[in-house]
Homo-oligomer: A and B are copies of this chain.
Amino acid sequence: MKNGIKVGLVEDQHLFRDGIKAILSAWQDIEIIFEAGEGFSVVQTLLQSEQVPDVMLVDLSLPPNGSTPYSGEQLTIDLTATFPEMKVLILSGHQDEKFIIRLIEAGAHGYLVKDSDPLEVYQAIVTAYEKGAYINERALMAIQQNIGKKTKEIFRSDTDLTWRELEVLELICRQHTAEEIGEKLFISVKTVNGHRSNLLLKTASRNVAGLVMYAVKNGLVNI
């Protein structure tokens, strides 16, 4: 247990969390010293803790916890800003390659889909710790395809939608009302409706059905 790689784990699904712990316990050079079920309090907790993980596994789709949405992306930004030595590995349920770029821009050092082989998780941890990053073949290809463009331009180039509009569109597809979207994004219902109006204009849609179809056609939402 001594001098092993100190690993942290932020994952809302309790079972999954324990599962990963069980899997990783097979390797003596890995030691899980931190875990959390939501992202909001992680940085604060670590700042008051005497030891900080070398490698942090972060679930990309951390759900809004009560009234405070705190995504894996935001946690990645905050973690890498606060602990520059820490390596952040993203665990993603959906393998939408577009997210990889966003997460890497946010500071992530690696990207794993949850459907990965357990061995790959171990390898990712060790590689990220020793070499500073773990990029597998799939992630590499996604990066290569989008190289040269900057993150936000990726979205704008093939969709013409802004960042905020994409966020709203995603939530519309997930069946949320304008009011709920406003609560999730901390903006007024009026603003949400403004974004939706722009979405309808830009996508040449008549209503939500058109928006959802557009999102699906352009791969902007995970089916």
Given contacts A22-B23, A208-B207, A208-B208, A14 and B173 within 8 Å (CB-CB): no
Is A213's beta carbon under 8 Å from chain B?
A: yes
Is A158's beta carbon under 8 Å from chain B?
A: no
- Residues on B with C-beta less than 8 A from A173 are 209, 213
Complex CA distance for A6 and B114, rounded to whole angstroms: 26
Asked if residues A121 and B15 are in contact (CB atoms below 8 Å), the reply is yes
Interface size on A, residues (CB 8 A): 36
Which A206-223 residues sit within 8 Å CB-CB of chain B? 206-213, 216-217, 221, 223
Asked if residues B207 and A14 are in contact (CB atoms below 8 Å), the reply is no
Is A172's beta carbon under 8 Å from chain B?
A: yes
Complex CA distance for A172 and B115, rounded to whole angstroms: 25
Asked if residues A175 and B20 are in contact (CB atoms below 8 Å), the reply is no
